[in-house]
Structure 1
Amino acid sequence: MTTPGERGANGLSEFGYAQEMKRELGWYTSFAVAFGFVSIATGIFTAYGSVLSSSGPMGIWTWPVVVIGQLCVALIFGALAARIPVSGYAYQWISRLANPILGWIMGWVSFTFLGVVVVAVDYTIAATILPVLFQYQGTNENAWAITAIVLLLQAILVALSTRATQRVNNVAVTIQLIGMVSLTVLLFVVGGVTGQLDFSTLFSTGDIPREGYFAPGGLTSVGPWALGFLLGAFTIVGFESAANLAEETKNPARVVPKAMAQAVVGLGVLGMLFLVAVTALAGDPVALAQSDTPVADVIARVLGSYVGKALLVLVVVSIFSCGLVISLSGARLVWAMARDKRFPAWQLLNKINGSTGTPMNASVFMFVVAQIVLALFARSTQALFSLFSAATLLPALIYAATVALYIAKRKSLPPSKGFELGRLEIPVLVLAVVWLAYELLIFRDASFAEPWLYLLVMFAIGAVYLVYLLVRHGAKSLTMPDLHDIDKALDTDPHQAPSNAGGNQ
């Protein structure tokens, strides 16, 4: 018998599912999931040097534009999460509101994103941080081995205990928040007292010619200013991971939208202040761009080597937390698609382990996928840039498709259970569309050929499996419970629960 409370914001019966995982996540844990995935310490440390090389110090002023654009995307995601608070986020939303086939494609794109971004994040530890922290020569081989070990540790934690994973991430996010705020304040204070702050650097283009700096570029190239947007576009992604854990969140329709928006705003403000501090203290930005760890170099010079080392430890903690959340989110997405019999080996991947309460098989599967991606990229001398680029391109596609869905269906969306855009809807949509269109145009640059190749290969694999599903079961088998019919049936007969979406295929 389904109680009225179960049919409310926390219930899954109206979506065709039973509650298989415990609802234990509160607001801070949901916020920490969104914050931990985005991780400004990870993103800025990884991408700042690339921005100095491609756009000069003035490239940091692309950051506020990205924050506004991604906040609009987060608000749209929040409006959808408040209506369909189910694990699988974009896969669920597009499958139910548009078309199950389009939803499957979006689920597959999301899976490919999570499979590559966890490697991009963890590879940073091995390639750029540990060699500096422990003073050894980094190579492709030892970076590969260290990344593989980090991925293994994260997979073990995610597979064995959701609660332990959440606690580790909560602690890591708290450390990152306190550490980044303290570090930013220290940089401004010490830099000001010692006279090292030079705010004119904020408007320098370094060794990038000013002529043509803001030019749009050509058919297969973009201008220096546009490349600066990759700093924010790589960093401020993954906030939607909070929506992917909706089935484990208390009152998700209210908590998840708030957590996503607050994470983007908090990260945006703190990240901008930190970028201003580091750039104003850069000294010679042209020389700094040649360093593998430019942020750490600035901090060590201004605050001393001990604080510089402490920053590296903080970044390691932040990156591990980021990879942990990505692994957690990836396992939930694979499990959600397997639950509907729409993922390879779904018979194994749709199970919740009785003793751990986690989708253990899905967690192991994500680990295997990450190791394969690592093996494909790790021998390349441009591995970090390729991973970084692919991990920026894929979410842009996901966000654009989801925003397009919202625009197409906004007049017929199911009732919200806790969050609506209201009068902000049109301005938010306009800003999101303009931002995403501009961001996607950046990826026409020839330097992104390898990420596009990765995307096409993964699309080809997905297309083969989708054709198999359609041939084997037919298009009619790819259906999702109709929200309106289910609500009506429950109102008519509260003793009748709907069948599982995947169980009747």
Structure 2
Amino acid sequence: MADVEARPPGAEPARQDGGPPPQRMARELGWYASFSVAFGFVSIATGIFTTYGAVLSTSGPRGIWAWPISVVGQLSIALVFGALAARIPISGYSYQWVSRIVGPVWGWIMGWVSFAFLGVVLVAVDYTIASTILPELFQYVGTTQNAWVITAVVVLLQAVLVAASTRFTHRVNSTAVTVQLIGMIALTVLLFVVGALTGKLDFGHLFEAGPVPESGYYALGGATEAGPFALAFLLGAFTIVGFESAANLAEETKNPARVIPRAMVQAVISLGVLGLLFLIAITAAAGRVDGVGASDTPVATVITAVLGSVVGKILLVLVVISIFSCGLVITLSGTRLVYAMSRDERFPGWQLLRRIHPRTATPLNASVFMMLIAQIILAVFSQSTDALFELFSAGTLLPALIYAGTVAMYAAKRRSLPPSRGFTLGRWEIPVLVVAAVWLLYELLIFRDASFRAPWIYVLVLFAIGAVYFAGLLLRSGRAGLTMPDLADVDRSLDTADTAIPRPKAAEGDAR
């Protein structure tokens, strides 16, 4: 590819150690773009359409009440991430934070886990379009073969957009997020109104266990199984992830230390409220629709039954746009993580993957690489009849590991962190950390259930591949091979970009 190492306009001069000058991406994103990234990655349309069927079968309709608890748990994590983003606003989020605060070895491990997560969740999101929505929209029988082909095409299209232009990608995403907001609000309101007028709402259904036995419903479960209600938490745990993707674009955001924390928190709160209302509407309506429990696409089935074929299909098109936007943001975030690790010479093939294309001003090679990884993961999972469940399970387990590691690091190092550049937890820091720790411990314990064997295998295989590369780094260069050569230069560029913005004094208890 026609990439160059020449300095783009406005870049810093060459490093003092004689290495190539650090390349820069344009700082052009505002609050709504940052909010759109966080909102678009989370995408309640994606998460609910993907996992609702599994919740009905394992927890029954009553399982939706795990959602508000999940929102509180994920919000506490978003607040911790906001506090970190305000101190170290740089692409790579947890990878960069852990590398700089704990050490490069632990940072590399966090980066590799994040990469594994972004690869599998991209496939999970795009597979949702092919397996749960398009068959209902166009009335055809979904198979593993046609789902594979459609997902592969969607992944390719998203990679092309991300590689072609960051600005255009954000315009597409911002438009799609606006469509998602309007579409999900309209869908929720119509379900309530039309359902009430036609007598298709059964609010008693919201508290039924459905096919799940009442006995032991709220039990924690045994050594290798989680209780029915515990499994319902996967609905929120899978859906409300990715809000930290806004922090992964810090080097392209104006005033990132103030904008990004606010965007993440506002995205989680707005998605939590809207998601709960939608779940109540769809579940109340499901009580009066035949065949929902046996449907492969229960949400789409309810929408079509209540709103009619024409209106239902229009709204399903809006959902497709929302899910495509979610995959687009994941591709963008994964590309930036690969670029950030490659810029630090800590990723396989970093010599190519750290390059910024001179015409598009995007990490083109990293975009192509992320697309190829997603295609490989798709090929591995696509022949399974439970591919969607396995994908969303892996896409829930991995971020839980990332969040747990990052929160633990923050708790251990909070008094030695750099001063805040725009956001602080203040007196709420300890309560937030306690809520986050309890929530993450409970969430991780759910994955002891035997049904999550395939996700654990995926995690272990990716860990093994990462361990081989990690060992090669140590054998070739020792711990020096894991250093971060551009650390000072990147920090100085952030300081320079923020000189026009007065920084608030660190709050009481902040490290100086």
TM-score, structure 1 normalization: 0.91
Q: Aligned ranges for residues 51-450 of structure 1 at < 5 Å?
A: 51-283=55-287, 287-450=291-454
Find the aligned partners of 1:92 and 1:319 in 2 and give their Cα distance.
Answer: 28
Query: Which segment drifts farther, 442-451 or 193-202?
Result: 193-202
* Post-superposition CA distance 1:133-158 (Å, at most 9, x none): 11222211111111111111000000
**Is the 2:120–2:374 Cα contact (8 Å) retained in structure 1?**
yes
Q: For each residue in 1:462-501, what CA deviation from the matched residue of structure 2 results, as whole angstroms up to 9, or x when unmatched?
A: 001011111111113423479899999x99xxxxxxxxxx
Residues 133, 320 of structure 2: 8 Å contact kept: yes
Give, in angstroms, the shift of residue 194 of structure 1.
2.7
In the alignment, is residue 478 of structure 1 matched against residue 486 of structure 2? no
Residue of structure 2 aligned with 1:466, choices 464, 470, 478 = 470
For 1:201, the aligned partner's letter is H
Does structure 1 conserve the Cα–Cα contact (< 8 Å) formed by 2:289 and 2:302? Answer: no
Alignment check: 8 A CA contact 1:220 1:446 kept: yes
Deviation, 1:284, is 5.2
Q: CA contact under 8 A between 2:183 and 2:319: conserved in structure 1?
A: no
Q: Which amino acid is the alignment partner of residue 45 of structure 1?
A: F
Alignment match, 2:52: 48
More divergent stretch after superposition (409-418 vs 194-203): 194-203
Structure-2 residue corresponding to 1:496: none
Contact 1:34/1:259 (<8 A) preserved: yes
Whether the 8 Å CA contact 1:126–1:143 is kept in 2: the answer is yes
Instruction: Go from structure 1 to structure 2 and tell me whether the alpha carbon gap of 1:284 and 1:444 turns closer, same or farther (over 3 Å shift).
Output: farther
Change (3 A) 1:413 1:209: same
Deviations along 1:251-302, whole A, 9 cap, x unmatched? 0000000000000000000000010111111125884121112112222222
* Counterpart in the other structure of 1:501: none
C-alpha contact 1:118 1:323 (8 A) present in aligned 2: yes
Which has the larger displacement, 266-275 or 377-386?
Answer: 377-386
CA contact (8 A) 2:344 2:483 kept: no
Contact persistence 2:117–2:395 (CA under 8 A): yes
Does structure 2 conserve the Cα–Cα contact (< 8 Å) formed by 1:52 and 1:286? Answer: no
**Does the aligned pair in 2 maintain the 1:52–1:285 contact within 8 Å?**
no
Letter in 1 for 2:303: I
Q: Deviations over 1:40-72 (max 9, x none)?
A: 011111111110110001100000011000000
Separation in 2, partners of 1:40, 1:66: 13
CA displacement 1:21-56 (0-9 Å, x = unmatched): 001110000000000000001111111111011000
Deviation at 1:451, TM superposition (A): 0.5
Cα distance in 1 between the residues matched to 2:359 and 2:388: 38
* Aligned residue identity for 2:257: A
Q: TM-score, normalised by structure 2?
A: 0.90
Q: Percent of aligned positions with the same letter in both sequences?
A: 72
The separation in 2 between residues aligned to 1:191 and 1:135, in whole angstroms, is: 23
Which whole-Å CA distance do the structure 1 matches of 2:475 and 2:289 have between them?
Answer: 58
Deviations 1:140-191 (A, max 9, x none): 1111111111111000000111011000000000000011111111221222
Mapped partners of 1:30, 1:468: distance in 2: 37
Tell me the matched-pair count.
478
Distance in 2, Cα, partners of 1:377 & 1:351 = 31
- The equivalent residue for 1:503 is none
Shift of 1:311: 2.3
Q: Is the 8 A contact 2:404 2:437 kept in 1?
A: yes
Query: What letter matches 1:252 in structure 2?
Result: P
2:33 maps to: 29
Q: 1:487 to 1:47 in 2, by over 3 A?
A: closer
Instruction: Compute the RMSD of aligned alpha carbons.
Output: 2.2
Displacement of 1:126: 1.2
**Partner Cα separation in structure 1 for residue 470 and residue 450 of structure 2:** 30
SS of residue matched to 1:411:
helix
Give ranges in structure 1 of 5+ residues lacking alignment.
1-5, 8-12, 492-505
**Secondary structure at the counterpart of residue 464 of structure 1:** helix
Q: What secondary structure is seen at the aligned counterpart in 1 of 2:286?
A: coil
Provide closer, same or farther for how the CA distance between residues 285 and 110 of structure 1 changes in structure 2, counting only shifts above 3 A: farther
1:304-361 Cα shifts (integer Å, max 9, x gaps): 1112112221121011101100000000000000001000010000101110000000
Q: 1:88 to 1:282 in 2, by over 3 A?
A: same
Q: Determine which structure has greater relative contact order: mean sequence separation of CA pairs < 8 Å that are 6+ residues apart, divided by chain length.
A: 1
